[in-house]
Amino acid sequence: MASPDHTASESLLASALVARFLRSNNYNETLRTFIREANLPSDAGAIKYKSHDHGNVEQWTLEGIIQEKKKFDQSLSFERYGDSQLREDEWSMPAPSSPKVIETPTSSNLLSVSVAPWQIIHADDDQNAASYIVSTSADKRLNAFNVGSDNAIAASMAGLSNSPILSIAVIRGGNYHFLTIKVLAYEEDNSEDVWIVTAGWDSQVLIYRMAVSSSSPSVTDHRIGEPVGSVKLPTNPESVLLVHHPESQDLTLLVSRRDSTFIYYYDLEPLRSASTLQKCEEIGKQNLAPRSNAWVAFSPSCLAQSPHDPGLIAVALSTLPHMKIMIVRLLFPPPHRDIIDDSTSHSSSRNREVVAERAPSTDTPVGASTSAPGTQLSQAMASLALQNREDAAIVIQANTLAPQTAYSTPQVVWRPDGSGLWVGGDDGVIRGIEAKTGKLVTTLKNGHEVGSKVRSIWAGWVNVGGTIEEWVVSGGFDKKLIVWK
């Protein structure tokens, strides 16, 4: 049974809400009668302005709260949580949670962090190939720290680039390092070819093929050379990823770009024998917002491949005001060699059929009668079938509650066991998302400064004195390099 004080408080609140409604709608006579009969003060329901929040006083009216709740409930309907039965998709414990701040030689915003093998040549010509914590900063420096308990600095280099280094890729056990805006290096198991993909602010993606022979280990014997492939985009690329086609095992490049909800597929197999610059052919694309009517709902800002399922990727989106993530099943187009035929006429006919199945033409104006009704119907059915496939490929779609702006750089990385994801944010917090459900399960706090931008994160296994540990390494605009264990 409610206490008398609690009942009186509820009655007073209800009376104040009624008085506020009458006052805001100018029912003056009714208001005076209500105040007199309810024995309320003469200013009941009046909005009390404060000097510091005069501009925001009317933002939280009763009607505004109800509308805000409706919008929140509607946004929840667009989220999609998984029901996977796989145990490896459940958030595993223990997980990194304790921060350790590493002292850097200079105080500057950190732009990229990772743990990677690094070849450091000492004065006595001793080449020490081991794993190091590698960070780059806005002052154009690259620092390497030992992974041991002291985390002492092993090397600090400046002047490697005319501009700050935003991305690093390492191959061949640390013999080669690639530094650029966005770089991806890929080594194939049964080949001496190393593929290097760079994405720049000139709206281009360049592909290099570097032949690294195991019989010639000297670094000076190998050069990257000129690019063998290029992709010209309408807008700046956001993220790149190299994967193998599950059927043909052809090397395929995935590209996402700004102001587009698509992931674009490019075939790199023709570049294996190329000696001059070739234009890469787009063989397919996958829409991450197949049901959206908006011009651009978001951009896929960061792609990360699952460590235990090569056909599954995590995508960090540029949604505002909070980052959303997707876990998506890749919809590879048919193997490229199945589309090519010796007969030119048959090839052209087959290609037209494939294009019609994947993405029906939208060039024909509405109401035009250039196609037969049967063709229009088949195109509409094919378009609907494609939307259904793309929608079904989205396994998880969830809100991470990580704040971001239009100038943020969304980051997502997998835990090394594939049980979850780590995402950064502009509030100094790193959030852990369970891969099975897509729900927020943990937060890493008390490391970065509150309200600071977490610019880069890395997650993986690290060998520390013969013991394998799971680490998360983060760097941000609070000038802190932090290892979470």
pLDDT digits (tens, 9 = 90+) for 454-467: 999 999 999 888 88
Three-state DSSP string of the chain: CCCHHHHHHHHHHHHHHHHHHHHHCCCHHHHHHHHHHCCCCCCCCCCCCCCCCHHHCCCCCHHHHHHHHHHHHHHHCCCECCCCCCHHHCCCCCCCCCEEEECCCCCCCEEEEEEEEEEEECCCCCEEEEEEEEEEECCCEEEEEECCCCCCEEEEEECCCCCCCCEEEEEHHHCEEEEECEEEEEECCCCCEEEEEEECCCCEEEEEEEECCCCCCCHHHCCCCCCCEEEECCCCEEEEEEEECCCCCCEEEEEEECCCCEEEEEECHHHHHCCCCEECEEEEEEECCCCCCCCCCCCEEEEEECCCCCCEEEEEECCCCEEEEEEEECCCCCCHHHHCCCCHHHHHHHHHHHHHHHCCCCCCCCCCCCCCHHHHHHHHHHHHHHHHHHHHCEEEEEEEEEECCCCCCCCEEECCCCCEEEECCCCCCEEEEECCCCCEEEEECCCCCCCCCEEEEEEEEEEECCEEEEEEEEEECCCCEEEEC
Reply yes or no on whether the pLDDT at 112 is more than 80.
Answer: yes
The residue among 87 and 380 whose pLDDT is bigger is 380
Q: Are strands 110-121 and 193-199 parallel, antiparallel or unpaired?
A: unpaired
Reply yes or no on whether the pLDDT at 221 is more than 80.
Answer: no
Reply yes or no on whether the pLDDT at 349 is more than 80.
Answer: no
Q: What pLDDT score does 39 carry? A: 86
Reply yes or no on whether the pLDDT at 1 is more than 50.
Answer: no
Lowest mean pLDDT among 112-116, 333-337, 382-386, 404-408: 333-337
The percent of residues in the chain predicted with pLDDT above 70, rounded, is 74
Q: Mean of the pLDDT values across residues 432-453?
A: 92
Q: What pLDDT score does 219 carry? A: 47
Please give the single-letter amino acid code of residue 98. S
Q: Is the dihedral of CA 454, 460, 462, 467 positive or negative?
A: positive
**Cα 259 to Cα 238: distance, rounded to the nearest angstrom:** 10
Reply yes or no on whether the pLDDT at 127 is more than 70.
Answer: no
> Which tens digit of pLDDT belongs to each residue from 308-341?
899 999 999 999 889 999 999 999 998 765 544 4
Q: Mean of the pLDDT values across residues 157-169?
A: 80
**Cα 103 to Cα 96: distance, rounded to the nearest angstrom:** 20
Q: Mean of the pLDDT values across residues 381-387?
A: 90
Q: Mean of the pLDDT values across residues 340-358?
A: 42
Q: Mean of the pLDDT values across residues 192-214?
A: 83
The residue among 275 and 359 whose pLDDT is bigger is 275
Whole-number mean pLDDT of the chain? 80
Q: What pLDDT score does 168 carry? A: 78
Q: What pLDDT score does 284 carry? A: 93
Confidence of residue 190 (pLDDT cuts 50, 70, 90): low
**Cα 386 to Cα 390: distance, rounded to the nearest angstrom:** 6
Reply yes or no on whether the pLDDT at 445 is more than 70.
Answer: yes
> Which tens digit of pLDDT belongs to each residue from 235-273?
999 999 999 999 888 899 999 999 999 999 999 988 888
Q: Which residues contact 259 (CB under 8 A, 6 or more apart)?
A: 235, 296, 299
Please give the single-letter amino acid code of residue 419. S
Q: Is the dihedral of CA 415, 421, 426, 429 positive or negative?
A: negative
325 to 143, 195, 446: CA distances (angstroms): 31, 28, 24
Cβ burial 205-223 (10 Å sphere, 16+ → b, else e): bbbbbbebeeeeeeeeebe
Closest CA to 205 of 279, 299, 286: 279
What is the pTM (predicted TM-score) of this model? 0.74
Q: Which two tokens stand for residue 88?
A: 């490896």
Lowest mean pLDDT among 191-205, 311-325, 464-478: 191-205
Domains of the chain: 8-39 (no CATH), 88-347+379-484 (2.130.10.10)
The residue among 393 and 117 whose pLDDT is bigger is 393
